[in-house]
Amino acid sequence: MGLHRRLALGILSLSGHNASRVLFGIMLSGFLISMWISNTATVMMLLSAVLAVIHQLRNHIDSAETHRKLSSALLIGLAYSSSIGGLATLVGTPTNMIFYRAYNEQYASSDPITFAGWMIFALPFAFSLLICAWWLIRFFFVRKLNLKSFETGGFKTEFLKLGNWSIDEKIVGIIFFSTALLWLTRADLEVGSFHLQGWTHLFPHPLQIQDSTIAISMALLLFLIPSQTEKGRALLTWKEASKLPYEIILLFGSGFALAKGFELSGLSTWLAQHLNAVNDVPILLTILIICVIVTLISEFASNVASIQLMMPILISLQMVSDIDPKLLLVPAALSASLGFMLPIATAPNTIVYSSGHIKVREMVLVGFFVDIAGILLILLFSNWM
């Protein structure tokens, strides 16, 4: 928790005295943190800081309506950026991990999806969507507001109160960055003419070492390394670990069971036989239709449920076409996280809406255009999938 708080306060303390820059500072904080932890945890972690900003703005804004609009902008920006950041890494959101498992199982003979390979494509896409979301929120909420400059020195004060890094924070920071580095360099990395051999080739059976191997190994270190600030306990104990959302594993398992049921019951074959028309449809139109359908489903159902429903259908669709499976499955995985219109679409939307500062029509309006921007960016980036 301390590491994420340092990151958020550090960014906000550099945001300056402009409302647009503070909005971007909040969104950048949510984006960077949610790349590595759940979007729900990111919002809960940063919500108090954003509410403190909203409270501070009362001293610099004369109009109550102006204050309400800026409050809506900051909270919506926090929710959207926390969902967008998860797209950049395979571990950032459950939908990416569901896609990763389904692709590697169904297309084991194809080029594997690696952590670094996903980031090379998804990080520029996610950051582009973040910029679009920031601009749209600024357009609808901030650009017409007549604001005085307001001090952000409170962020600097809170950041300085954290003091120097403790030994425990340094150890956890080293483990965190080591985990990310091991994920990025596990498999061979090729970018154009550049080739970097993965470190797993140092072992006799490199294919047996997966991203999950790294995650479990580094997590075990947290249980084994003793705390230097609290004697008699490790950096991580089961009391903290038991608070993790283990129910998500059941959701994963149900999705894999559903996909297996499609296969064993013959439903996948039946669908494949009735989807021959896809060969006559331009690939970009096919991707557009997939993105629109998955995005609409994710507005009313969880992103996990929407991707679990679509993955078996898209795999069946790929069976009867010559389309690269990545061109079907990756857009669906990304679109499942584009639920920005409704408070019920994602947990971050629900959390910020419950603050009482946001009107439903405001979220629907800006969320609609962010959804459109996301779909268009998926079509644009499909050339690099």
The pTM (predicted TM-score) of the whole model is 0.82
Q: Please give the mean pLDDT across all residues of the chain.
A: 80
User: Which tokens is 26 given?
Assistant: 């909040």
Task: Average the pLDDT over 124-149 and give the result.
Answer: 84
Residue 129 has pLDDT above 90, yes or no: yes
Residue at 345: amino acid letter: A
Q: What are the residue ranges spanned by the domains of the chain?
A: 2-384
Q: Select the more confidently predicted residue: 280 or 178.
A: 178
Please give the average per-residue pLDDT across 18-23, as a whole number.
Answer: 79
| Cα atoms in the Cβ-side hemisphere of radius 13 Å centred on 338 | 29
CA torsion, points 187, 191, 192, 196, in degrees to nearest 10?
A: -50
- How many whole angstroms separate alpha carbon 33 and alpha carbon 45? 10
**pLDDT band at 20, cuts 50/70/90?**
confident
φ, ψ dihedrals at 199, nearest 5°: -70, -15
For 11, 38, 40, 41, 144, the CA distances from 245, given in Å and listed in that order, are 28, 10, 11, 10, 41
Rounded distance between C-alpha atoms, residue 32 and residue 255, angstroms: 28
pLDDT at 75: 92
67 HSE (CA, 13 A, CB side): 14
pLDDT winner (highest mean) among 89-98, 201-210, 296-305: 89-98
What pLDDT, in 10s, does the model give residues 216-233? 888 899 899 898 888 888
Q: pLDDT for 235-276, tens place per residue?
A: 888 887 777 666 656 655 666 676 667 667 777 667 666 666
Q: Measure Cα distances from 305 to 151, 200, 254, 270 in Å.
A: 43, 34, 10, 22
Average pLDDT over residues 353-378: 92
The pair of structure tokens assigned to 322 is 């010559």
Q: What is the DSSP string of 81-146?
A: HHHHHGGGSTTSSHHHHHHHHHHHHHTTTSPPP-HHHHHHHHHHHHHHHHHHHHHHHIIIIITT--
**Spatial distance between the Cα atoms of 200 and 58, rounded to a whole number of angstroms:** 55
Beta bridge partners of 195: 190
pLDDT, residue 1, reads: 45
Q: What is the pLDDT of residue 147?
A: 53
Question: In 10 A of CB 276, how many CB atoms?
Answer: 10
DSSP letters, 145-178, are: --------HHHHHHHHHT-SPPHHHHHHHHHHHH
Which of 151, 184, 162, 139 has the alpha carbon at shortest distance from 58?
A: 151
Cα separation, 74 vs 353, whole angstroms: 12
Q: How far apart are CA 303 and CA 248, in angstroms?
A: 12
**d(C-alpha 242, C-alpha 256), whole Å:** 24
Beta strands in the chain (DSSP E): 189-191, 194-196
Write down the pLDDT at residue 145.
61
Strand pairing class (189-191; 194-196): antiparallel
Among 67-81, 120-134, 189-203, top mean pLDDT goes to 120-134
Q: What is the mean pLDDT of residues 12-16?
A: 57
